[in-house]
Structure 1
């Protein structure tokens, strides 16, 4: 399932300097067992002076809205794995940051973000998912 409430422009350039194609990317839910129906969020972290590594975890629609509402995605440098509407991308699907301008006003995702009570602590399930990316809420 694509979350078309969020759309981020992306330019796909040929490695040989050929034609450049502009795409509109959307977050998508995973189809694997444990992460079925969840969105992948990715964060680059530096471990013990070694080069930067990417850590990812999977969150539900409501958890993604909560992370966005609380500013966690921006504060910790998270990006969201995205794909074009036709689902075809020549390499691994890219990750993109979600800016406020990327969210369609009045959409179900926008309403979910507005409905989050930011004064309440994150659920245990969400805190556990974020531990994989070295983030403690």
Structure 2
């Protein structure tokens, strides 16, 4: 499932030259057993003496809205795995940051973000998912 409430412009530049393609990408849910219906969030971390490593985890629609509402995505440098509407991308699907201008006003995702009570702590499932990316809430 594509989350078309969020659309981010992406330009594909072939590594050996050629035509550049610009299109819109959207967050999509995974189709694997354990992560079925969840969105992948990715962040890069650098540990002392080790090169930069990408960590990812999968979160539900509601958890994605909560992370966005609480500013966690921006604060810790998370990006969301995206794919174009036609589902065809020549390499690994890109990761993009979700900016406020990328969210369609009045959409179900926008309403979910507005409905989050930011004063409440994250639930156990979300905290466990974030631990996989070395984040404690």
Same fold (TM over 0.5): yes
Give CA-to-partner distance per residue, 1:16-61, whole Å, 9 cap, x none. Answer: 2211110100000000010000000000001232111000000000
Q: Name the counterpart of 1:43.
A: 43
Could you tell me which runs of 5 or more consecutive residues in structure 2 were left unpaired when the two chains were aligned: none
Q: How many residues align?
A: 137
Q: By how many angstroms is 1:78 displaced?
A: 0.1
Give CA-to-partner distance per residue, 1:98-130, whole Å, 9 cap, x none. Answer: 000000000000000000000000000000000
* 1:16 partnered with 2:10: no
The runs of at least 4 consecutive aligned structure 1 residues that moved more than 6 Å come to none
What is the TM-score normalised by the length of structure 1? Answer: 0.99
Q: Name the counterpart of 1:60.
A: 60
Distance 2:34 2:3 in 1: 19
- Computed over aligned residues only, the root mean square deviation of the Cα atoms, in angstroms, reads 0.6
Give CA-to-partner distance per residue, 1:72-103, whole Å, 9 cap, x none. Answer: 00000000000000000000000000000000
3-state SS, counterpart of residue 90 of structure 1: coil
Distance 2:135 2:16 in 1: 39
Could you tell me which runs of 5 or more consecutive residues in structure 1 were left unpaired when the two chains were aligned: none
What is the TM-score normalised by the length of structure 2? Answer: 0.99
